Amino acid sequence: MSESKITKSHTSLENKSALFAILTTVALLVGGLVEVLPPFLMSSDLFVKPIASVKPYSGLELAGRDLYIKEGCLNCHTQMIRPFKWETDRFDPTRAYGDAPYSKGGEYVYDRPFLWGSKRTGPDLWHESQIQPSAAWHKTHLINPREVSENSVMPGYPWLFENKVDADTVIGKMETLKNVFDVPYSDEDFAKAKEELADATEGDAMIAYLLKLGRDTANIEGQ
């Protein structure tokens, strides 16, 4: 089709304001549904194969996840091992990453939104709970990354260990996840969250989140 014909076709449609408005609304609705519906359907066996060992984030882990988003950590780190041989066979002796299984949909069933990321300025973190299981190491690394990784370009986050977590906000988010997305939080989970968040710093929350990554499927055959 020539450029003049395309222009004429567009002009004809734009001149029909009512039709143009209807078609635009339909396009927005379809696009919106594609974006909005998947999180509500994540618990369905039709879309994701459940992994029984995967548990919802605790209150402290959820607070850490929010901080991970707030500080833009996903701009430099991914959280997904892709199903390719060069991915699963990668080996870095300084991080003991080799032979990691590729990621399954069921591992992310409680992630809203997903934090897969697309850039690897820093290492992939999905198996961080096995790579660096020490809370003390993570605290040192968050305060001053160069102290444990000489050539790191990551900025330090010392203020995380000065700021307290807002427990009411976190518990409110847990209630929303339970009521809107059917995340199976129990009364015991809420009680535990209130207790562990009482004097927690943002740094404690970030470490709890990092030590959750990959933990629930770490020792499962075939996962």
Return the domain boundaries, the chain: 3-40, 59-217
Mean pLDDT of 90-97: 50
Least confident among 112-116, 141-145, 201-205: 112-116
User: C-alpha 42: how far from its chain's center?
Assistant: 14
CB 80 within 8 A of CB 88: no
The pLDDT of residue 136: 97
Mean pLDDT of 130-157: 94
The pLDDT of residue 93: 46
Two structure tokens written together for 85: 């041989």
CB 194 within 8 A of CB 175: no
Comparison of pLDDT for 189 and 43, the residue scoring more? 189
The pLDDT of residue 209: 98
- Residue 56 one-letter amino acid: P
The CA distance from 206 to 66, in Å, is 9
The pLDDT of residue 222: 42
The CA distance from 153 to 34, in Å, is 37
Note the pLDDT tens digit of each residue in 49-87.
778 899 999 999 999 999 999 999 999 999 988 887 777
The CA distance from 36 to 39, in Å, is 7
CB 157 within 8 A of CB 76: no
Residue 192 pLDDT grade (very low, low, confident, very high; cuts 50, 70, 90): very high
Mean pLDDT of 128-151: 93
CB 186 within 8 A of CB 121: no
- Residue 204 one-letter amino acid: D
Where do runs of H (alpha helix) occur along 15-148? 17-40, 59-70, 85-88, 128-131, 135-143
Where do runs of H (alpha helix) occur along 99-146? 128-131, 135-143
Mean pLDDT of 155-165: 96
CATH code, residues 59-217:
1.10.760.10
The CA distance from 37 to 24, in Å, is 20
The pLDDT of residue 223: 44
pLDDT exceeds 90 at position 218: no
Mean pLDDT of 150-169: 95
Comparison of pLDDT for 211 and 132, the residue scoring more? 211
User: C-alpha 59: how far from its chain's center?
Assistant: 15
Q: Phi and psi at residue 147, in whole multiples of 5°? A: -70, -30
pTM score:
0.77
Q: Is the dihedral of CA 171, 176, 177, 183 positive or negative?
A: positive
